[in-house]
Structure 1
């Protein structure tokens, strides 16, 4: 009774009410930073900040905000952030002054063990982990996996053939999702999951569910908007991701690690690179990633390090899921562009016929010689980047970038989609023109105007593999089929507004015609 009276009396309520008012007032004062300093941007609300102004997502709505507020404006979503469309400023932030912005914004919750992944690692630890795993993504390593990817392409071509002529069209999201998951499983972890033959494969189902995370999920919002809630999540082991999905992937990686430790499997893949880190010593040849030393700070290390079990698990799952979703989305958009740009598809097919007329000719080295293929994919990723934006965080000290003070503790958001569609940066940005990226024109492109994989030292580790995987799939499909629209093709495709991933919620539906049939019709 005494405890009840202590907790539920007028003095306690008054004290709690006063603390809440102080917290709300202090938090709102921070959110009013941009207004107080004459920096344009949407007006923040108490607690919610500017969240209500971004319910349309981070794609075309960002272009409208740039027109309204200019190239640099303020917003508040947990942290105060500068949203920057000025690519000269971004070049300083991401490259030349990287030492002031080496990290992503800290997450308010850990969601263990995912907080141990390279994406969330900070400063010297990030550099060391990146140097440890980056050798698995070198050109010499990728040349060794041609046969693995070609085997996955065999099944992809077979599944497209099975869908040919079916009512309702071919759902690219399903077929490319299975393909990209198989490639990642085989190339990264030596797992043969054969998801393309079984679309109900648990790998596919769990990967799809993992990316069905809504940006406006209450659990996520509370963690960002109310300081301390994330620490409560950590204290009580509250998982932001679905616990069953997390357990599925962690169990898969754990079993794969066990087999490597026992010597049952030995392959030169990314999992083996991580598992072998406990054997590292000071005499090992240094194959560190030179990118991570750009703007390197004196206290950080660029050497390889032994990874903990949690770090191996977290990075494995991160590579698994990132490799699945972004490549799947990219390939879906490529299929859409092939279908809606038939003349450019034929130009690409001519290049395919010249360099890789048969599946046996499709290799890393051959693909690297195909200029128009590279241009076509780059232009697709410009118009439809799989990720709408990325961030950098200033936790080193106040810094001025192009006359704009960015205080310590402030986030920088890079609106990738908006930059890719900005008419001040790209001529007729809505027009699909692969020629923008040919040898004659590439030198005219600003270094930080094309960002599907980010840029600078924290650019995507898997860029080479993702491009290779997409090129293999496109060439192998064009060898067999002409990709065309069908009544179910959504033109233009709707983009996801509920998260930072743009993948169309309705997928991409196309149809295919056998090359022999297409050639006969063209001749007539």
Structure 2
């Protein structure tokens, strides 16, 4: 027994020495390319610095400090993954646009996922080509009445809230709206979250986005070679994040099966039903024609992606806009005046009318500059070694765009914490570097639903301000506490406001 214990301890010791030796060599990789890097932990690199913890500084702030200390290009090790923060706008233009062929892939986010954001190389291009028509001008115009219907239900809720004078978390209310909108316009599950805020699908998405990184996530980042094994094990066990996702995915599988069996499309005009478009792209006729086809998993995973992307990012953005308008009643009145003039001229908030809400759009853009909803998802992977100036990016290294830091750079935006919608009026926008605003990313792998999101934000904002004023209340926090648990930055404790009828 004693001999066994001695041998076991010796084996552990030798394995630790081997891991340490390999990691010391690995953690010199970025510095060899001329990329300054803070001193890493011998095993986990900088994982503790960039992983959420209630006791620690917000991770976007930590990265911002590195950029201020080391310059606009900083390396760090996300566990075993070498990653480079790039805030140099000219370099970013090359990475995201000019040399996009060398940065076509995102780093692996979810092992074995078939969502568009996780697909790579030609497979990604083929599936993106299938999904892009969902947001064409013609389809967006047809979605407008569906979106307006959801906003009208929200308006009824607003009347109840205003008449009661109660303080409420508008962030939670807007989550219900954005889930209803993406469901009604793309998937047709009939969720009706505004009137049913405890809907099972909505609750599981909330849990997904509010979960802190687990020990399993840390293990996958620390030991990249085990990524597939650990992810598969957790999926089979139904643990952690997979539990919430599985509830949603299984619901989608049932809906897809029902659609196939009845040959229908959920009561929505087929030409604008995104789920039916995914199903059609997996049918036998597509296979016979030689066109790109989707597997069953790709249909379900990308239906899940439509819901996830359309739900959280837009509700974040709308909540930030409402918060800033409540703090700046003069700006809110300018939005009201513009909306009133456009509605009178156009006979309502039509699709064409939304394009004329220039100042309203500037307000939304400035809100997303101060509070970018997505702060850690503009990522790329270097396919081959890449050199720019005095820097060499190793092949398979990850590039991260520090959106929060760029949006809060005083050399780009003087007094960055001051709310100035005029920054995004057409003439002033032209004077800035095209990489200075990256709330939706840019280049070939930018956000697929940019126009859909902006249409929803302007329609919702324009509808509400015609009837109500956003007002601060006793629970409104200034400044607004934020939390970043992963790729998104959220209001930590919600956004508490009241509504006042006009």
Residue matched to 1:204? 202
Q: Which residue of 1 aligns with 2:64?
A: 63
Give the alignment partner of residue 370 of structure 2, picking from 375, 383, 386.
Answer: 383
1:30 deviation in Å?
0.8
RMSD of the alignment, in Å? 2.4
The residue that corresponds to 1:257 in the other structure is: 256
Q: Retained in 2: the 8 A contact 1:165–1:511?
A: no
Which residue, out of 444, 448, 465, partners 2:452? 465
Q: Alpha-carbon deviation of 1:148?
A: 0.9
1:227 and 2:232 correspond? no
Show the counterpart of 2:308. Answer: 321
The separation in 2 between residues aligned to 1:45 and 1:482, in whole angstroms, is 50
Q: Deviations over 1:345-386 (max 9, x none)?
A: 111111110112599712221101211111111111111110
Maintained 8 Å contact 2:30/2:394: no
CA distance in 2, matches of 1:59, 1:234: 26
Deviations along 1:81-125, one digit per CA (max 9) or x if unpaired, are: 111111111111011100111111124x62x5xx11000000100
Alignment match of 1:146 (pick from 144, 147, 150): 144
Aligned counterpart in structure 2 of residue 86 of structure 1, from 77, 85, 88: 88
Distance 1:394 1:180 in 2: 31
Q: Per the alignment, in what secondary structure is the counterpart of residue 59 of structure 1?
A: helix
Structure 2 CA distance for partners of 1:360 and 1:274, relative to 1, 3 Å: farther
Residue 183 of structure 2 corresponds to 185
Checking the alignment, whether the CA contact within 8 Å between 1:58 and 1:415 is kept in structure 2 is: no
Of 342, 349, 354 in structure 1, the residue corresponding to residue 341 of structure 2 is 354
Structure 2's unaligned 5+ residue stretches are 51-55
Matched position secondary structure for 2:432: coil
Q: Is the 8 A contact 2:211 2:241 kept in 1?
A: no
Structure 2 Cα separation of the partners of residues 317 and 420 of structure 1: 29
1:36 to partner: Cα distance: 5.5
Once the two structures are overlaid, the 10-residue window that deviates more, 164-173 or 251-260, is 164-173
Deviation at 1:411, TM superposition (A): 0.8
Per-residue CA deviations over 1:444-473 (Å, capped at 9, x if unaligned) read: 121111111111000011111111111111
1:427 and 1:169 map into 2 onto residues whose CA distance is: 34
SS of equivalent residue, structure 2 residue 224 = coil
Say which of 128, 131, 137 aligns to 1:130.
Answer: 128
CA gap of 1:342–1:353, structure 2 versus 1, over 3 A, is: same
CA distance in 2, matches of 1:265, 1:319: 16
SS state of the match for residue 458, structure 1? coil
In structure 1, the residue matched to 2:104 is 102
Provide the aligned length of Structure 1 versus Structure 2. Answer: 488
TM-score by length of 2: 0.91
CA distance in 2, matches of 1:172, 1:395: 40
Mapped to 1, the partners of 2:325 and 2:472 lie a distance apart of 9
- SS of the residue aligned with 2:491? coil
> Does the residue aligned with 1:428 lie in a helix, a strand or coil?
coil
